[in-house]
Amino acid sequence: MKPIPSKKSRRAEPLSTVNPRAAGINVGAEFHVVAVPPECDAEAVRTFRSFTGDLHRLADWLVACRIETVAMESTEVYWIALYAILEARRIRVVVVNARDVKPVPGRKTDVNDARWLLQLHAYGLLRGRCHPPGDIAALRADLRRRERLLDDAASHIQHMQKAPTQMNSQLHHVVSDSTGKTGRRIIRAILDGTRDPQVLASDRDGRCKASVETIAQALERNDRPEHLFALEQAVALYDADQERVAACDRRIEAGLAQLTPPEPLPAPRHKTRQPNAVNFDVRAALHAVIGVDPTQIHGFGPSPALRLVGACGTDLSAWPTAKHFTSWLCLSPGNKISGGKVLSARTRRSHNRASALLRLAAVNVGKTDSALGACYRRLAMGVGKSKAITATARKLAVLFYNTLRHGMDYSDPGAPYDEERHRQRVVQNRERRAKPLMVATGIAGDSAIELAPGTYIVRIDGGGARRIVLAAGETTILSVPFRRSPFDLMVSRMDFPDSAAVRVGK
């Protein structure tokens, strides 16, 4: 008989220290709490204010303690300045999500948070978030600033439509775009003092679908000085935002124009110019920076591709595989398992800008006659558009990852390719589900009969004794009683090839 191990021998082995020279920082708006190992300093926890001079003294203290790596939470934007100072001192900084480092409830203090970060980081239990290098971070900041300006301009466009509506002008009903050529000419003419609807309608562009008479009727209104003043203010703010957007375009172009394309660009896949796109050749600039052309992938225009590179960076080596990349984007299934049961496989919620761009591209790719478009339409008919968008966005994320990381050349096999692959998967799945029927009913060994697609018919016959009949044409192969056992239910619900038939008797 084996001896019973003692309590001491049954204790779990302590965790091994991975980062002995680690520190934890609890980042705040007014001050930061820093914790180092007790052997590094007699005062292992110190507090520093968020002034620039105090941040430099914090970095000097960490260098004096011979700290090599630091972990801190990504609290608002307060960590950015400290991150830059520590990075300049050649200290490896790990910025983690606050959701992943929640301490034990009931012990929430700034000092405990700093010590908890230190302990987790010393044992190597923290995963750092992706932080691009300086040039890509500057590009990302410029792109985000441009997006905010476009959002502000959109709100001013709404005000430009609201003011004429309050004067009972129905211009936005006959002109699809108030900021188009016809809409801009008419609005600016109104602000210049023109009141005659016929004169205003004569500024119609030749490509406008509405006639001059229709536009003149829509421009009959009741002018009010307060509404004209609101219209003037909205137009001035819209013009100011457009000037700032142009300044952002020049800055983005200057940042990308430092390199020249290493090889000729392929023919563009998307020839139409997207609304609110940047005013320079994005394809050539991106090709100069990353060496590939991501706009060849269906759904990726020049502007979305630029924003995606700005969000993810040019070096995707932070994600070892495409699965890690899609998990970071929250486009892969969840993993909630307890007691051997899958509790949920829903994708996690995320405010990731790259994920939003990929979902938007998935909607656009569903309108194309490509393999991705056929996959999107097939999934939308089966499981709904929401899940189809997520699945297609994940496919686009894998293509984007392989293009940037491994230099893959995207080649679309076409919609028939996806349809044929889906048909083959359906046939293989049905053959796999038919094998338990053969084993459970004793059709095995030398007497095994192949359930090839379109060969046999499974039906539940009615009558006095209900039976499951396996037949080929008019010849009965097998007939067993139907007792509502788990196997019988599986057979009755089994989905066989299209040429087969399932009939349930009364």
Same domain for 110 and 232? no
Of 49-58, 188-197, 385-394, the range with the lowest mean pLDDT is 188-197
Q: Would residue 321 count as lying in a domain?
A: yes
Q: Would residue 267 count as lying in a domain?
A: no
- Is it the case that residue 239 has pLDDT exceeding 80? yes
* Spatial distance between the Cα atoms of 382 and 364, rounded to a whole number of angstroms: 19
Same domain for 406 and 455? no
* Spatial distance between the Cα atoms of 295 and 212, rounded to a whole number of angstroms: 40
Nearest to 314 by CA among 143, 133, 147, 142: 133
Could you tell me which residues come within 8 angstroms of residue 23 by beta carbon, excluding any fewer than 6 positions away? 34, 35, 36, 37, 62, 65, 67, 69, 70, 71, 118, 121
Enclosing domain of residue 84? 16-122
Q: Would residue 500 count as lying in a domain?
A: no
Same domain for 224 and 148? yes
Please count the residues of the chain. 506
475-481: strand order across its sheet: 457-461, 467-472, 475-481
* Spatial distance between the Cα atoms of 82 and 170, rounded to a whole number of angstroms: 54
- The pLDDT value recorded for residue 505 is 30
pLDDT tens readout for residues 399-450: 999 988 888 888 888 888 888 888 888 777 766 766 665 555 444 433 333 3
Same domain for 207 and 310? no
- The pLDDT value recorded for residue 209 is 82
> Which residue reads 């991975």 in tokens?
18
Domains contained in the chain, number: 4
Nearest to 78 by CA among 101, 99, 95: 95
Mean pLDDT of 319-328: 90
- Is it the case that residue 289 has pLDDT exceeding 50? yes
Rounded to the nearest 10 degrees, the angle between the axes of helix 134-166 and helix 181-191 is: 60
Nearest to 162 by CA among 217, 214, 229, 211: 229
Retrieve residue 51's tokens: 């002034």
Same domain for 387 and 317? yes
Q: Would residue 263 count as lying in a domain?
A: no
Q: What is the CATH number of the domain that holds 76?
A: 3.30.420.10
Among candidate residues 92, 122, 152, the one where a domain is terminated:
122
Same domain for 170 and 237? yes
Q: Would residue 309 count as lying in a domain?
A: yes
Same domain for 31 and 103? yes
Measured between its terminal Cα atoms, the distance across the chain in Å is: 63
Q: Would residue 431 count as lying in a domain?
A: no
* Spatial distance between the Cα atoms of 45 and 110, rounded to a whole number of angstroms: 10
Helix (H, G, I), strand (E, B) or coil at 418: helix
Same domain for 152 and 231? yes
H runs (alpha helix) in 407-485: 415-440
Nearest to 311 by CA among 353, 251, 362, 358: 353
Q: Would residue 373 count as lying in a domain?
A: yes
Q: Would residue 48 count as lying in a domain?
A: yes
Same domain for 176 and 231? yes
Q: What pTM does this model have?
A: 0.66
User: Taking the alpha carbons of 13, 18, 22, 25 in that order, is the dihedral positive or negative?
Assistant: negative
Same domain for 52 and 27? yes
Burial of 377-398, coded b for 16+ CB within 10 Å and e otherwise, reads bebbeeeeeeebbbbbbbbbbb
> Using alpha carbons only, what angle is made at residue 267 by residues 266 and 268, rounded to the nearest 5 degrees?
110
Same domain for 298 and 363? yes
Same domain for 156 and 211? yes
Mean pLDDT of 267-278: 67
